Amino acid sequence: MPHARITKKEALCVIYADHQPELLTQNQTIKRQPDKKHVEAGEQRESALLENGQLGNKPLAIEQPEDREIIAAARIRPIGHYRLLTGLLVHPKLRRQGLGHRLMQALTPTFGQAPTFLFCDARLIPFYQRHGFALPNTPPGELLQLQRRYQGNAGASAKEQDKNFTLMQYLG
């Protein structure tokens, strides 16, 4: 059964659906002890895994049931004294249906735990601005180094090297 381990300082939000994306399910499986906290959103359920990657004091493991498919997910990971929103993904066939907005709404409470940043394609700047992100006045050095590394990855394809990632910070 596929699963993902979440480190203590990470936060994750996942939206599941059944194998027929147009028929979204109300059920999802999160394997952990003992109770679940969910953010209800229409026919989908989002699970915001907050409090430094834990609910209460129990470590989390997300398991994808064999009969379910993840249709959207986002992750926040620590980078030094900062937090970086990474991997906000929505299934290509389900984009423009509000799933990305629901992920951001579920993760927003975690953004105040430490200065939170993200890298995005310039076309996505308006999306993140609607959720409280802006261009930082003074970007942290370690994140600027990471940005240069992303953009100058020698092993990346020519298309990936041409990408210009924009650093944004959550300002609320």
pLDDT tens digits, 132-162: 999 998 888 888 888 888 777 655 555 555 5
Instruction: Output the pLDDT for position 69.
Output: 77
Q: H or E element: which one contains 75? A: strand 69-79
Better pLDDT: 26 or 172: 172
CB atoms within 10 A of CB 37: 12
pTM of the full structure: 0.65
Tokens of 25: 């399910």
Beta strand 116-121 pairing with 82-90: parallel
Average model confidence (pLDDT) for the chain?
68
Q: What is the mean pLDDT of residues 53-69?
A: 45
Q: What is the pLDDT of residues 98-138, one digit of tens each?
A: 889 988 988 888 888 889 999 999 999 999 999 999 999 88
Average pLDDT over residues 10-32: 47
Q: Is 129 helix (H, G, I), strand (E, B) or coil?
A: helix
Question: Does position 93 have pLDDT exceeding 70, yes or no?
Answer: yes
Determine the pLDDT at residue 153: 61
Q: Which of 2, 110, 14 is nearest to 53 (CA)?
A: 110
